[in-house]
Amino acid sequence: MIVKPAQSSNIKNILEKLNTFNSDPENGTTRVLFTEPEVEARKYIKEEMKKNGLVVREDSIGNIFATLEGTDPDLPPVWTGSHIDTVLKAGMFDGMAGVVAGIEAARLIKESKIPHKRNIEVIVYTSEEPTRFGLSCLGSRAMAGYLSLEQAKRLKDKQGNSLAEVLEGLGYDLSKFDEISFKKGEVFAAVELHIEQGAVLESMGLPIGIVDTISGPTKLEVSVYGKQSHAGGTPMNLRHDAFLACSEIALKVEKLAKKSSSKDTVATVGLVNVIPNASNVISGEVHFSLDIRDSDYEVKHKLIEELKDFTKQLEKSRGVTIKIKQINDDLPTKSDDRIIEILENSCKEKNISYHKMVSGAFHDSMMVGKFAPIAMIFVPSKDGISHNPAEWTDYDDIAKGTDILADGLLKLSND
Ligand code: HGY
Ligand code: MN
Ligand code: MN
């Protein structure tokens, strides 16, 4: 009895069908949490899971669990999976590759008829992206016990809908919200396949990455309050230009990241809201995001402290007021050595070269790692592009990653 190789045609078909659930098909893929395309995509993926003999259920925040029952279903299960929601104008692989690889791996294991003790569960985590409610990893964060129903009532989208209201409107039972979280020991192991979203594997010509650390992201919302005034009539020395203060902060955070002692420090400003956003008006208010990440928590926080000192000086030099709100401040997540060893052995047995690496991107595994041993399999991103319509990963590479995933899940479920 062997596990047959994954079929890239299966992977291609499901990914391409998933990609039809898209609210902006002219610009890559946009599938925002609980919008009509995402709800339809959820229905489709659940059908695919059932077609492959998996037993499907959802929890109160919409995490989807598809179970391939083992011979000893009372043992803590082995998990795989990822997300199907996207950022705006995204690609079609970020998250989806891991969900589809999980379904294909479960199909291969089932067809192999090799007995496995533990249940193997393919998970679709709700809202890994912060696109709609500004906070990432909502489903896995709730699983880790870091998102309460109270917080779900406070999290609002741009239209003022709370996550709790949206969930209720879709029929989720919020009286069971407290049942979402897991304790340590309730899940034996979790392995997520994901596209690399960087260019390391491609530059090394390698098909597989094994993630040993997931960098911890910090998201800050910064508001600068200056003085709205006339772009022509206001002398330069009398201006309190909120956007130019924001620009100084953006360039400062880039400088601090570039000179950091850690090779994994990254930072950017991705979202800017200028008020009143008019060509001949000096902005009086700017609200913008700071996304700062590192595999080293201390180094990240030293940078954030330096940045805060800088904003204090800026308040004085520019006569503005600066407010900084922390949205999330996640720790880096270490992969489990035992799972890494299993995945490395799978690669060696299949003669597939691999590279152990840090993930600059965060993933649901970052949250799952709070209550279960985790590891991740990376497959290459063409030109290192992601969060972009040009995102591409060869189906054969996803199939190769699925072979490692299936082998690893099978070994873990009999561990
Ligand atoms: O931003 C991230 O790291 C993830 O792709 N959402
Ligand atoms: Mn993403
Ligand atoms: Mn992702």
> Is the pLDDT at 63 greater than 90, yes or no?
yes
Test site for ligand 1: of 136, 140, 213, 381, most ligand atoms within 8 A of the Cβ: 136
> Is the pLDDT at 38 greater than 80, yes or no?
yes
- pLDDT band for 2, please (50, 70, 90 cuts): confident
pLDDT score for 84: 98
Q: How many CB atoms lie within 10 A of CB 412?
A: 27
Pick the ligand that lies closest to the CA of residue 130: 1
Give pLDDT tens digits for 79-103.
999 999 999 999 999 999 999 999 9
Structural domains in the chain? 8-215+332-413 (3.40.630.10), 216-328 (3.30.70.360)
Q: Rounded mean pLDDT of 147-166?
A: 98
* DSSP 8-state code for residue 180: S
> Is the pLDDT at 50 greater than 80, yes or no?
yes
pLDDT score for 287: 98
| Alpha-carbon distances of 238 from 218, 223, 318, rounded to whole Å | 35, 21, 9
Pick the ligand that lies closest to the CA of residue 84: 3
> Is the pLDDT at 26 greater than 90, yes or no?
yes
pLDDT score for 1: 67
Q: What is the 3-state secondary structure (H, E, C) of 267-313?
A: EECCCEEEECCCCCEECCEEEEEEEEEECCHHHHHHHHHHHHHHHHH
> Is the pLDDT at 151 greater than 90, yes or no?
yes
> Is the pLDDT at 190 greater than 90, yes or no?
yes
Give pLDDT tens digits for 321-351.
999 999 999 999 999 999 999 999 999 999 9
**Is the backbone peptide bond immediately before 276 cis, with ω within 30 degrees of 0?**
yes
Ligand 1, atom nearest to 217 Cα: 3
Residue nearest to atom 6 of ligand 1 (CA): 129
Alpha carbons 61 and 177: distance in angstroms, whole number: 7
| Alpha-carbon distances of 164 from 169, 175, 367, rounded to whole Å | 9, 11, 20
